[in-house]
Amino acid sequence: MHYDLIIRNGICVLPWGEARADIGVRAGRIASLSVGVADEADEVIDAAGLHVLPGLIDPHVHLRDPGDATVESIPTGTRAAALGGVTTVFDMPNTAPSITDGDMLRWKQEYASRESWVDFAMYVGATRGNTPRLGEYEQFDGVCAIKVFAGSSTGDLMIEDDEGIRQVLEHGHRRVAFHSEDEYRLQERKKLLTEEMSYDRHPFWRDEECAFLGTRRIVGLARRARRPVHILHTSTAEELDWLAAHRDVATVEVLVNHLTQVAPDCYETLGALAVMNPPIRDRRHYEASWEAVRNGMVDTIGSDHAPHSLAAKAKPWPATPAGLTGVQTLVPVMLDHVNAGRLSLGRMVDLMAAGPARVYGLQAKGRIAMGYDADFTLVDMAAQRRITNDWIATPAGWTPFDGMAVTGWPMATIVRGRAVMREDTILGEPAGRLACFAP
């Protein structure tokens, strides 16, 4: 039999466990998991010594497009994703201008379909003005979810009050994603800040109660509206413990930074390059996040890739903008956690492929199975590398993980049967498509 692509000799992470399998791809879909020795293909990849994962997904990126291309853009950000082993990204709406109406959605659909190196999805930002049309907007091709900033945003991308959130939840039916810090507490605590304070006061301002209060309010409203919600970048032990009683209405994201960096050390070593929202917190919350990964509380892991220029980040706290780069380093850092024994490779795949597909209703992605998109992340679990700034494709040009030694590295990124990256080299031209979601 003839295929477009055959991947031979790899250890495949299948939904039912690891197994050696030769995969056949035809017309961008998985056509066989048992390719014969005599079968041929236009292209054959020998994956001996590698693990073949379903294409990994970063469901939380800010590619800043439209915005400032000297910091990030869809072409550069998706190139970074491909270099890092990510086959699909979900892009946030807080751009300039924001993605909040049909015209901007159509612009982004066309632009991403032309310029993205990997498959692409986008959030629609909820505003008070567009709330009545959110049910319409969530059905646009490539839209993964409605995003609500209940705290920490600018312009009209802020709906912090219960009535505003209730109205959002009444329009549409798909899962709504939330930045759930409580804006009222944020503004009250901001009065305690002075310019003389150091970067390690960031979690003092945006404290545990700020996050926990926001999450309690949002989940309570979601339950009354009978509308599922996804709590983004959950960062506190209190939230994770409380959310265990609300799994019927709420799913949970944790960021790689909250699983990797610990306060106050990160602020002492990185300064502004550790400032993000919600903040990197102390070891109690770090340990709680890992326990939530182990006990199944966490559904997805993302990078919250949100680049700023080094010049902007150099401003003293609290004037420095919050946000770190991360889409390119997400997979290597998580592979290092696997090798350190903090989670299994299968659990990582669950969090970074099957999990996003399940939470957002992403169709034909997230697992290696017949008929699914032929998206694969090929990794060398034994490769020892060092993450450095000069590897970063994002124009901002830095990573908070600069100098970090890791074990485990993405060796190939394959999107719908097409190799986009092999051995740190980008191949061909951008050919990403809009991801498909259940209506």
Q: Assess if residue 93 is contained within a domain.
A: yes
- The three-state secondary structure class of 61 is strand
Q: Do 75 and 114 reside in the same domain of the chain?
A: yes
Q: Assess if residue 36 is contained within a domain.
A: yes
Q: Assess if residue 80 is contained within a domain.
A: yes
Q: Measured between alpha carbons, how far is 255 from 226 in angstroms, rounded to an integer?
A: 26
Q: Do 341 and 376 reside in the same domain of the chain?
A: no
List of residues 6+ apart from 203 with CB closer than 8 A: 263, 279, 280, 281, 282
Q: Assess if residue 392 is contained within a domain.
A: no
Q: Do 247 and 182 reside in the same domain of the chain?
A: yes
Q: Do 191 and 313 reside in the same domain of the chain?
A: yes
| Domains held by the chain: number | 2
List of residues 6+ apart from 228 with CB closer than 8 A: 174, 175, 176, 222, 249, 250, 251
Q: Do 120 and 174 reside in the same domain of the chain?
A: yes
The set of long-range contacts for 158-163, using a CB threshold of 8 Å and a minimum separation of 24, is 158/183, 159/126, 159/127, 159/128, 159/131, 160/184, 162/217, 162/221
Q: Measured between alpha carbons, how far is 144 from 112 in angstroms, rounded to an integer?
A: 14
Q: Which of 46, 9, 7 is nearest to 24 (CA)?
A: 7
Range of the domain at 228: 57-360
Q: Do 29 and 109 reside in the same domain of the chain?
A: no
pLDDT tens for 359-380 read 999 999 999 999 999 999 999 9
Q: Do 152 and 193 reside in the same domain of the chain?
A: yes
Would you call 431 exposed, middle or buried from its count of C-beta atoms within 10 A (0-12, 13-18, 19+)?
A: middle
Q: Measured between alpha carbons, how far is 12 from 22 in angstroms, rounded to an integer?
A: 9
304 annotated active-site: yes
Among the listed residues 91, 304, 350, 375, the single catalytic one is 304
Amino acid 153: pLDDT: 74
* CATH number for the domain harbouring residue 192: 3.20.20.140
Q: Measured between alpha carbons, how far is 423 from 378 in angstroms, rounded to an integer?
A: 10
Q: Assess if residue 434 is contained within a domain.
A: no
Q: Assess if residue 197 is contained within a domain.
A: yes
Pull the structure tokens for residue 186: 């944020």
Q: Which of 270, 260, 272, 182 is nearest to 218 (CA)?
A: 182
* CATH number for the domain harbouring residue 411: 2.30.40.10
Q: What is the pLDDT along the chain (439 residues), one digit of tens a residue?
A: 999 999 999 999 999 999 999 999 999 999 999 999 999 999 999 999 999 999 999 999 999 999 999 999 999 999 999 999 999 999 999 999 999 999 999 999 999 999 999 999 999 999 999 999 999 999 999 999 999 999 877 778 999 999 999 999 999 999 999 999 999 999 999 999 988 899 999 999 999 999 999 999 999 999 999 999 999 999 999 999 999 999 999 999 999 999 999 999 999 999 999 999 999 999 999 999 999 999 999 999 999 999 999 999 999 999 999 999 999 999 999 999 999 999 999 999 999 999 999 999 999 999 999 999 999 999 999 999 999 999 999 999 999 999 999 999 999 999 999 999 999 999 999 999 999 999 9
Q: Assess if residue 394 is contained within a domain.
A: no
Give the rounded distance of the alpha carbon of 38 from its chain centre.
40
Phi, psi of 409 (to 5 degrees): -150, 140
pLDDT tens for 239-268 read 999 999 999 999 999 999 999 999 999 999
Q: Measured between alpha carbons, how far is 232 from 178 in angstroms, rounded to an integer?
A: 6
Phi, psi of 168 (to 5 degrees): -55, -45
Q: Do 192 and 48 reside in the same domain of the chain?
A: no
- How far apart, in Å, do the first and last CA atoms of the chain sit? 36
Q: Do 47 and 62 reside in the same domain of the chain?
A: no
Q: Measured between alpha carbons, how far is 62 from 179 in angstroms, rounded to an integer?
A: 13
Q: Assess if residue 396 is contained within a domain.
A: no
Q: Do 326 and 288 reside in the same domain of the chain?
A: yes
List of residues 6+ apart from 279 with CB closer than 8 A: 202, 203, 205, 206, 235, 263
Q: Do 96 and 35 reside in the same domain of the chain?
A: no
Q: Do 46 and 113 reside in the same domain of the chain?
A: no
